[in-house]
Amino acid sequence: MSQQETAKEKEIEKEPLKIGWALTGSHCTLKKTIAEMKEILETEPWEITPVLSLSVQEMNTKFGTPKQWEDELENIGCKPWIGTIPDAEPIGPQSLFDVMVVAPCSGNTMAKLANGIVDTPALMAAKAHLRNLKPLVLGVSTNDGLGLNAQNIAMMLNTKNVYLVPFGQDDPVKKCNSVVFNIKQLADTIKMARIGKQIQPLLLQYH
């Protein structure tokens, strides 16, 4: 790569971005993900519009409540969130975002996305964004990433304009099929996806 091309890429990485960010039902990673979103908003010239899956909007779990997630997203400075399929559909025709992020991307969302199923706001946001041939970043978090969902992850890895946050086994002894994305590499993955590159290495070894 020439010095001119490298300089151009560095300039692109610094550009303000409008990001759509879908949060899906990997409830155990929501708090850490929102904390990382807060750090990104404090350090990058980006704006983030959350898209909440139905499970995030409706399910009370030991990890938190819908009201808690909604309040935290508002408190860190996100734009008003999108929560219905009709409200997510204009993301495509109006070209609302430069990059669309789905993180955490649950196994259910990954499977449906890989097979063209659109029955949640998060899936509609991803589909609508991809129609514009813009980057879609996935942060996979699922207990069956090396099981039934392995084929869906592989399918998305081979889909144009789709980029994955580096991920690895979070508990290979007790949950050998479970994989989780590295939250701290979200911003760098977004920056690389913006210039059409998959961040590497993609597979991580957790200790």
With respect to residue 11, please indicate whether it lies within any of the assigned structural domains.
no
Do residues 69 and 23 touch, judged by C-beta distance below 8 A?
A: yes
Structural domain count of the chain: 1
Structure tokens at 148: 């039934």
With respect to residue 140, please indicate whether it lies within any of the assigned structural domains.
no
Q: Domain of 98: which CATH number?
A: 3.40.50.1950
In degrees and rounded to multiples of 5, residue 107 shows phi and psi of: -60, -35
Strand ranges in 53-202 using DSSP code E only, listed in sequence order: 99-105, 136-142, 162-164, 167-169, 179-181
How confident is the model over 81-91, as a mean pLDDT? 98
What is the CB neighbour count within 10 angstroms for residue 161? 15
Q: The domain containing residue 193 runs over which residues?
A: 18-133+148-202
H or E, element range at 90:
none
With respect to residue 125, please indicate whether it lies within any of the assigned structural domains.
yes
Which among 189, 193, 171 is positioned nearest to 180, based on CA atoms? 171
Percent of the chain with pLDDT over 70: 92
With respect to residue 6, please indicate whether it lies within any of the assigned structural domains.
no
Who wins on pLDDT, 6 or 36? 36
**In this model, does residue 9 exceed pLDDT 80?**
no
Is 0.95 topped by the overall pTM?
no
With respect to residue 9, please indicate whether it lies within any of the assigned structural domains.
no
Structure tokens at 73: 């997203």
With respect to residue 4, please indicate whether it lies within any of the assigned structural domains.
no
With respect to residue 108, please indicate whether it lies within any of the assigned structural domains.
yes
Give me the chain's average pLDDT, please. 94
Nearest-angstrom CA–CA distance, 95 and 168: 32
